Structure 1
């Protein structure tokens, strides 16, 4: 087929896709805890809005190969590396340290990062540098080696362990907002900062974005909102308007 004819046919396909309702199978990769808490409860509403879409949702905290594994879209939490993908920021989440009140009553609350070496720390193994925790905001970054006998590659069981009083956990605010709001967990070292984490929707860098992907990303922006739903819960504020973060190349 001549290149000019191929371009004309491709342009016609894009125009038909934009004019039509979103349709077809949509394969999505979701981080396990984020997907469980903030995406799955709303997918019935998404499907009701878009009766032409069929969803295939895969839960995995690893960064899947979207192109090689045939995914249309993924939610990624953390640094982005694949330059073949387009990224659209959905939200940002703080990283914090949390523990149960009964743990702090038994072991005492640390008042400085160096005291973490005296505590049982719970390790989420997919965080980079989980053997030492890096604090910011007071001059040069401060890296503190931490110890602990419980490690896992899934965040929800570590939150459960923290709730049982088994140690101090470094986690994202989205993962523990309800527990913090209810007082079942409390923030540790709140005057010290850890680097925040970006939450992005990523999709293959095609010339155009299929309507089904566009619809899903827009729906996620609405569900999460701006400020993000977990921040509103912790701040005690209301509001559901979504932010309008534009697409950018994945770094």
Structure 2
């Protein structure tokens, strides 16, 4: 509770619900399925969502207990969700999912911004690009109101927006991912 807790601002990512708070968009957060080349050499490259059931899946559990779904769009435009309840590893920190995939533990759904440096170095590969459809996530700054904003809060917001704008990993065009597929 931003207001009840007396906080000046929050950085939030995900599906941002409408609220009475001011929300300053930072960027869209794109998600991808990734695995290490070593894992794919040993286990094979899945070519369809159905083939994922034959792989070790690394899933994310949010603080509320919900596991992040893995969704796919078929040729007809229909969205289907893969049952990932039998994953081999469930973690809560998004960075930990990226690290587990880098360490050959299996296939993980992670934010492009987490995977980007490893994709560029060839340590991870993107899977099922064009079929994987995780939905729309965004990164925003939220604060209680615009009126009577303390100068320190305004300075912090301006600084954070400039830093986020300067982060290449947050602004990777989706077309750039094609060069990093398995």
TM norm structure 2: 0.82
Residue of 154, 157, 164 corresponding to 2:103: 164
Residue of 131, 142, 156 corresponding to 1:216: 156
Aligned to 1:179: 118
CA contact (8 A) 2:97 2:110 kept: no
* Bigger-Rg structure (1/2): 1
* Deviation, structure 1 residue 129: 6.0
Instruction: Decide which structure has greater helix share.
Output: 1
TM norm structure 1: 0.61
Q: Which runs of 5+ in 2 are unaligned?
A: 177-182
- Find out whether 1:117 has 2:53 as its counterpart: yes
Q: Note the aligned Cα RMSD (angstroms).
A: 2.4
Q: Which runs of 5+ in 1 are unaligned?
A: 1-64, 236-251
- Find out whether 1:140 has 2:93 as its counterpart: no
Aligned to 2:28: 92
CA deviation digits over 1:113-154, x for unaligned, max 9?
Answer: 111111111111129963641123741212111231211111
Aligned residues: 170
Aligned to 2:143: 203
CA contact (8 A) 1:135 1:195 kept: no
* Bigger RCO (CA 8 Å, 6+ sep): 2
* Deviation, structure 1 residue 209: 2.8
CA contact (8 A) 1:136 1:195 kept: no
Structure 1 stretches (4+) deviating beyond 6 angstroms?
none
